[in-house]
Amino acid sequence: MSEAFLPYGRQTIEEDDIAAVVEALRADFLTTGPTVGRFEAAFAERVGASHAVACANGTAALHLAMLALGVQPGEVVIAPSTTFLATANCARYVGAEVVFADIDPASGLMTPETLGEALMRVGDRRLRAVLPVHLRGDAVDLPALAALARDAGAVLVEDAAHALGTTMDFGDGAETVGDGRHSAMTTFSFHPVKTIATGEGGMVTTNDPDLAERLRTFRSHGMVRPEHGPAWWYEMPEIGFNYRLPDILCALGLSQLAKLDRFAEGRRRLAAAYGDALAGLAPLVQAAASPPWSRPVPHLMTVLIDFEAAGRDRSQVIEALRARGAGSQVHYIPVHRQPYYADRYGVAMLPGAEAWYARCLSLPLYPAMTEADVARAAGALGEALGL
């Protein structure tokens, strides 16, 4: 019997997760019910935030964050070019303009230096927010980025779609991604390849009660219920969206959240196993760099490959991996090169993002894998590169 195919990522759904969803299906609420609040409370406690607001997906979380801040057309949001489309798109959803920041080509992360360069390109426009991305699960330099944003009159909104469970130590003790110590809000995703899964789903955490209230209002059409009025009365002072996360998905989220420590330990163990398994492929293959302050829960096992020196192009390597039973993915095509943004702004010179894109490839990583699976994926990469 041939060995099972190893996708680059996949969910881990167990019998107790299924039982939790079945229990929710048998309850009175399928959409918005008491499980939503329980999931939000458990999530906020886990990351150390005062408030957590569940929503339909990670993209909705970013959009809600822009709405809650009141970002206006013509204002500016800075986002790294090395990210998924949604990090930049959320600014355009509210009419704001995007200035793309470059990244460190070894880690894929926005740095104080690349943010500083992006700030110079904002010019005399009003900057409202900076959206650093904790790519692969590794944390950016939050204190330094927050200070630069603050000096420019803006706030941080962390895109932590990859980084649930990641902790940091900037010299003042352990911090957790999502605790809001350096940012106005942090957004998360529960897509199946993420650390915990709800099918689709997202969360925004904040320590600001006013922002939390605005997030909750905007996720439900912009409706509010005045304190004084008939029980059936509602009003819509501002237009919102249907970005709610149903009870049945929050039931799965609660079950998955209880396993976060186990999932995190598994991902870290597998990443360490990759370090050993890939050592023989150096210098053609190197793991993405991890900053010294970051204690990641790895979402992606991204390696940087010198395809030219190997005499292979990336498409050839991807196909050779697939033929050997290992999936892979590219994270990411620089967003500033996408036709929509290139047509709007021209193509910026971002050498870090270009260098990262030229070399990056993500290998299989998910908790159900074994060390033998890691060895098989690393071996397949070696064969694909002719090593």
- Give the Cα separation of 328 and 360 in Å (integer): 10
Query: In the structure encoding, which two tokens stand for residue 23, read together?
Result: 């229990």
Tokens 């904040």 sit on residue: 206
Helix (H) or strand (E) holding 356: helix 351-359
ω into 332 cis (within 30 of 0):
yes
ω into 345 cis (within 30 of 0):
no
Give the residue from 104, 108, 106, 115 showing the smallest Cα distance to 79: 115
Amino acid letter, residue 286: Q
Residues known to be catalytic: 194
Q: What is the DSSP letter of 118?
A: H
Q: Are 64 and 238 in contact (CB under 8 A)?
A: no
Q: What is the DSSP letter of 284?
A: T
Q: Are 159 and 87 in contact (CB under 8 A)?
A: yes
